[in-house]
Amino acid sequence: MNFTQSEIRILSPSYILSPHPMIHNTLSAARERGHKLLAVLVDPDKTSRENISTLAAYAKQGKIDVFLWGGSLVNEPRADHYLSILKASIDKPVVLFPGNMYQLNDQADGLLLLSLLSGRNPDLLIGQHVLVAGKIKQLGLATTATGYLLIDGGRPTSVSYMSNTTPIPADKPALASCTALAGQQLGMQAIYMDAGSGALNPISPAMITAVRNEVDLPIIVGGGIRNGLAARKALEAGADMIVVGNALEKDPELLVELAEVFERPATF
């Protein structure tokens, strides 16, 4: 008997299926069921075998739903090596979060195909996508068209420097919501709101809510989330998945605090 993807989600005991679906399907299915997701961003240039082992242990305890893989600057041989270690250590989806067109790897379960909507750099809006379209097809990577919104997190970040773009001001939620809405109208499958690695401040609940009220898409929020309170505020404001990276590099035990937020959803 053949089932549609929607029927499979209903029949499955979990909204994260095996083998791993496209991240868009994972996000959409979780949102339909009212579940929130926690993603960990692993920077290949900053990780280690020990760090991967620690994260894998937490993943096996059910504290991590998705792994994102990428960074602004990535050493390709190192990234390939550590990605193979991560994939061998976990049974969670690993999705590429590429900082540039060279960060593609067929070991991953999918690719966030980011289009930087908040900036005015045509290279990151469509230029690099044209250059790697054939390679993505050749690698067989499942893509999720993602509207990427860089939000001011209180200081310049690697993303703003490398992309040569100005973030959306933190006090301009209407600008963020209109940008996200334009992304949905252009056919994006998800919106990623990012304050950038090492941001001083997380994205405000007011800005997340403004975007949530305008778009009917999964919303991913990252940057500046250093504690359970910031995570809870983002989720209550409308984020479907939060992403933590830089903070975990300094303190992997933060995952315990974050897991408690998801175990006690309250008003999500």
Task: Of 197, 201, 194, 196, give the one whose Cα is nearest residue 239.
Answer: 194
137 lies in some domain: yes
27 lies in some domain: no
29 lies in some domain: no
Residue with token string 């009220």: 213
Three-state secondary structure readout of the chain? CCCCHHHHHHHCCCCCCCCCCCHHHHHHHHHHCCCCEEEEEECCCCCCHHHHHHHHHHHHCCCCCEEEECCCCCCHHHHHHHHHHHHHHCCCCEEECCCCCCCCCCCCCEEEEEEECCCCCHHHHHHHHHHHHHHHHHHCCCEEEEEEEEECCCCCCHHHHHHCCCCECCCCHHHHHHHHHHHHHCCCCEEEEECCCCCCCCCCHHHHHHHHHHCCCCEEEECCCCCHHHHHHHHHHCCCEEEECHHHHHCCCHHHHHHHHHHCCCCC
100 vs 122, residue with greater confidence: 122
Give the per-residue pLDDT at 1.
38
Q: Domain of 198: which CATH number?
A: 3.20.20.390
pLDDT-derived band at 12, boundaries 50, 70, 90? very low
Contact between residue 189 and residue 25 where contact means Cβ atoms under 8 Å apart: no
Which whole number is the average pLDDT over 173-202? 96
141 vs 2, residue with greater confidence: 141
26 lies in some domain: no
pLDDT tens profile 31-58: 999 899 999 999 998 888 999 999 999 9
Question: pLDDT at residue 4 above 80?
Answer: no
11 lies in some domain: no
Question: pLDDT at residue 28 above 50?
Answer: yes
Please tell me the distance from the alpha carbon of residue 241 to that of residue 114, in angstroms, as a whole number: 16
pLDDT tens profile 123-179: 999 999 999 999 999 999 999 999 999 999 999 888 888 888 999 999 999 999 999
Quote the pTM value.
0.89
Domain that holds residue 231: 36-263
176 lies in some domain: yes
Domains: count for the chain: 1
Give the per-residue pLDDT at 249.
77
213 lies in some domain: yes
Rg (CA), the chain: 17
pLDDT-derived band at 7, boundaries 50, 70, 90? very low
pLDDT exceeding 70 applies to what percent of the chain? Answer: 91
pLDDT-derived band at 265, boundaries 50, 70, 90? low
Please tell me the distance from the alpha carbon of residue 51 to that of residue 47, in angstroms, as a whole number: 6
Give the per-residue pLDDT at 247.
84
